[in-house]
Amino acid sequence: MLKKLFLFALATCTLAACNKDEGTGLPYDYVYLKENTNISEGHLQGSNMHFYGTSTVTDATGGVFTYRKAHFELAGLDDFHLYMHKTRFAADMPGVEMRIPNVPYTPTGDKSLTFSLDEVIPEAERPNAVGGGATYVPVERYVITQLAGSIDNTLCRVEFTCAGVYHVVFEGSLIGEK
């Protein structure tokens, strides 16, 4: 009887270990938020907003690449920097830290806004050998055209064409600390 009880306990522990919570998979162990407190009357309040979702990229030949761990961040107040963390435009492309600086926006509701730019040169993060850290440098070959986006409470949508080749559509939800 004791042997059966021991085997039952061992099997239970093994199943519990197999079913261990692996987390949400979100960056920084964030959770999805139900309300956006970073926008009031259509204006940013100076806190960074992180959005996590799917980036769908269609290349010039019609090939489609879907990246389900896309992470975009907005940082600013009167305008914002749009960060695309470890962004990828193709399956074999390594993730690149990119940002689009100084994006103006238009309030469209209490917790919503829109933004657009006809053309902008994005910046890519480059490690800074002197003193550590990193710097962002313009990358002209990744020129972004027809940038358009919106935030509606906790949902973010961004669309643009990169390098005249990659049409990108990002759709994500607001994430933050528990």
pTM over 0.75: yes
User: Partners of 43 in the beta sheet?
Assistant: 40
How many residues are listed for the chain in this entry? 178
Question: What are the pLDDT digits (tens) for 15-61?
Answer: 333 333 345 689 888 999 999 999 999 999 999 999 999 999 999 99
Read off the tokens for 83.
Answer: 């960060």
160 in a domain, yes or no? yes
- Is 76 a member of any domain? yes
Structure tokens at 6: 């021991």
> Tokens representing 108?
């469209």
User: Does 20 reside within a domain?
Assistant: no
Query: Considering the domain boundaries, does residue 9 fall inside one?
Result: no
Answer yes or no: is 120 within a domain: yes
Q: Give the count of domains, the chain.
A: 1
CATH number, domain at 136?
A: 2.40.160
Domain contains 46: yes
Is residue 2 one of the residues assigned to a domain?
no
Q: Confirm whether 111 is domain-assigned.
A: yes
- Structural domain of residue 48, as residue ranges? 25-176
Buried b or exposed e, range 138-166, using 16+ CB within 10 angstroms? ebeebebeebebbbebbebbbbbbbbeeb
Q: pLDDT of the chain along its 178 residues, tens only?
A: 433 333 333 333 333 333 333 456 898 889 999 999 999 999 999 999 999 999 999 999 999 999 999 999 999 999 999 999 999 988 888 899 999 999 999 999 999 999 999 999 999 998 775 666 678 999 999 999 999 999 999 999 999 999 999 999 999 999 999 8
pLDDT of residue 4: 35
